[in-house]
Amino acid sequence: MAKKTIVFTGGGSAGHVTPNLAIISEIRNDWDIQYIGSKKGIEKELIKKIAVPYHGISSGKLRRYIDLENVKDIFRVLKGCLDARRILKKLKPDLVFSKGGFVSVPVIIAARSLKIPIFIHESDMTPGLANKISQRFADKIFTSFEETEKYFPKSKVKAIGSPIRKEILQGSEEKGRRFLGFHSGRPILTIMGGSLGARKINEVVRGSLKQLTAKYQIAHLCGKNNLDPSLEGISGYRQFEYMHEELADVLAATDLVITRGGSNAIFEFLALGIPMLIIPLGLQQSRGDQILNAKAFAEKGFSLTLEEEQLTSESLLKHLETLDQKSGEIHMTMKQSQQGEALQTLVTEINKYR
């Protein structure tokens, strides 16, 4: 029997792709999987790494402010709808699954015009603009946070958590320490500023290395082109632009983590039981979703929050000391969490269309 076809979409940032990768890994033996994304977005690079057929379309940017580019983007989105409709008519998928991002909107509109069933997953506390537009066309909407359900029609929405890549949960602590060259006599602090790094976090961490390395061994993922050669060779400090295969092992060896407030990342740390200090993107850099994500996790007892505007060497060291003191309590709270079933829930729902 021929496999049914599913089309995934979502892009613009790694956060709009990573959950799709988790789902694809679980269903690729049972489905013919295709991906529609933008012609030059980060999703193209990530999807090609897993050997899934990729179809690029025209896409604009959904801005929340007045800009002359918005006029041009109307035509880009219209062309994207035509591109997506042409691709979908050829592929004849049985289901479209969207993780959001501006590239998903033309795909969702085209899928609805062809009466193809549509699933959407929203990661953040409040919906992004793409999912706000797309919700009217969706058959089912899944969210990471229970608090997000109120933004969508009750008949369509269900809070399930965030789909976590299984491989991230299968790391080896021993391999992680060996890769880093770290010993077991001092805790490991991993610092992750997102796929592009975080300039202020990098600066404050590097300005505090003497105090930090007195207590921790540090794995610093600083982002592309953000390595500092002058810091190579410092005992107890390793810096990387990013990690791929080694990340699961490094996280298995990690005792505490400093992170941005992206939903996918913090749900992964929750699943791994790593107490986290969240430094969310501020309102000047984002729509405020990371601030709300961080607030929700702090209220549930999973993390501490340090606003970037308040980030200094002194405040960083103080918050880390508090996180260290509360780490046992936080770890126990995480273990009692009901999160972790999102991936299987989505696989079950998707397989209903086989």
56-65 residue pLDDT tens: 998 766 555 5
State whether 279 and 329 are in the same domain: yes
Tokens of 86: 């042409």
Q: Phi and psi at residue 192, in whole multiples of 5°?
A: -130, 115
pLDDT at 314: 97
- The answer to whether residue 250 scores a pLDDT higher than 80 is yes
Q: pLDDT above 70 covers what percent of the chain? A: 92
CA distance 245 to 309: 33
Which of these ranges, 75-84, 315-324, 333-342, has the smallest mean pLDDT? 333-342
Residues in Cβ contact with 299 at an 8 Å cutoff, skipping those fewer than 6 apart: none
Q: Given this model, what pLDDT does residue 64 score?
A: 53
CATH of residue 228: 3.40.50.2000
pTM for the structure as a whole = 0.86
CA dihedral in degrees (144, 140, 47, 128; nearest 10)? -60
Q: Stretch 187-203: mean pLDDT, rounded?
A: 84
Overall domain count for the chain:
2
Asked whether residue 8 falls in the same domain as residue 107, the answer is yes
What average pLDDT does range 155-181 have in this prediction?
94
144 lies in the same domain as 225: no
Residue 184 CB-density burial (10 A; 0-12 exposed, 13-18 middle, 19+ buried)? exposed
Q: Contact at 8 Å (CB) between 131 and 122? A: yes
Tell me how far the alpha carbon of residue 272 is from its chain's centroid: 15
Q: Distance between CA atoms of 227 and 335, rounded to whole angstroms?
A: 35
Domain shared by 126 and 234, yes or no: no
Angle in degrees, CA 77, 79, 84, rounded to 5: 90
Domain match, 175 and 96 both: no
> Dihedral of CA 62/281/298/269: which sign?
positive
| Mean pLDDT, the chain, integer | 91
Instruction: Measure the CA–CA gap between 126 and 195, rounded to whole angstroms.
Output: 21
Let me know whether 15 and 87 are in one domain.
Answer: yes
Co-location of 158 and 233 in the same domain: no
* 171, 209: one domain: yes
Answer yes or no: do 346 and 331 share one domain: no
Domain range spanning residue 270?
Answer: 167-335
Nearest residue to 98 via CA among 127, 125, 60, 63: 127
Pair (119, 146) in one structural domain: yes
What's the whole-number mean pLDDT along residues 118-133?
92
148 in the same domain as 188: no
Q: Do 303 and 297 form a contact (C-beta atoms < 8 A)?
A: yes
Give which of 238, 230, 130 is closest to 177, Cα–Cα.
238
Q: 149: which DSSP letter? A: G
Q: What is the mean pLDDT of residues 101-110?
A: 93
| Cβ–Cβ under 8 Å, residues 153 and 132 | no
Do residue 102 and residue 178 come from a single domain?
A: no
How far apart (Å, rounded) are the C-alpha atoms in residues 286 and 281?
Answer: 6
